[in-house]
Amino acid sequence: MTLELTVADDVRTLVPGFTHLAVEAHGLVNGPSTDASSALLDDAAHRLAERLDGRAPHEDPHMAAWRAAYTAFGAKPSRTRNSAEALAKRALADGGLPRINVLVDVYNAISVAHLIPVGGEDLDRIQGGMRLVRATGEEEFVTTAAGEPAVEHPDAGEVVWCDGAGVTCRRWNWRQGPRTRLTEESTSALFLLESLAPMPQAELERAGAELAELIEKFSPGARVDLRAPE
């Protein structure tokens, strides 16, 4: 059964240039990072450096658009960066990108190479469909603080992804909650690629196709489906 994804009208009104692409995958085999997934991240950092050609990530037009979107719902983009900008800064720094697990390495590589926010959710941990909405401030976001479970509430008007159990990602794509993250035991996943104007739709689709190809490479036999928004 295909997971239902919806974007609230008030989000589309706030940021008219938003679009997304979903990659749903079943029959996955995940595990610790490997030499191959690590090499993907190194190659993505090289592609990013070539793309930026000496500019800082936030100077890229797509990242500038995300900063404007964050400002529109009240976030401070220099303090809470979108996921692509945050990864890009790490990719260009001396320490480089973190190695998490194979599936996370794969989608992080796509995010960095294409400079586009990409998220991965464990389908078996999602309750109901997923919705991109502007929060009321009453929703619960279960996270961790000092190694212990903690509950936060998004700001009123904040753009969040949520499912039937609560918020899965705060400030659009800034911080994912641990409940739905991909672990080494994950076998089904939803990957969300998000873009804003001026990024061409074709670039979003190229990133999605490359992600699907890599998923099939690292999980031979997996069933992978690409879905554009309706």
pLDDT in tens, 44-80: 999 999 999 999 999 999 999 999 999 999 999 999 9
Q: Report the predicted TM-score, pTM, of the whole model to 2 decimal places.
A: 0.96
What are the structural domains of the chain? 5-227 (3.50.40.10)
194-229 burial, b at 16+ Cβ within 10 Å, e below that, comes to: bbbeebeeeebeebbeebbebbeebbeebebebeee
Q: What's the pLDDT at 149?
A: 86
**Residue (of 9, 31, 5) closest to 225 by Cα position:** 5
Average pLDDT of 87-114? Answer: 97
| 145 — pLDDT class (breaks 50, 70, 90) | confident
Q: What's the pLDDT at 1?
A: 59
Strand, helix or coil for residue 89: helix
DSSP bridge pairs for 134: 159
pLDDT digits (tens, 9 = 90+) for 5-35: 999 999 999 999 999 999 999 999 999 999 9
| 229 — pLDDT class (breaks 50, 70, 90) | low
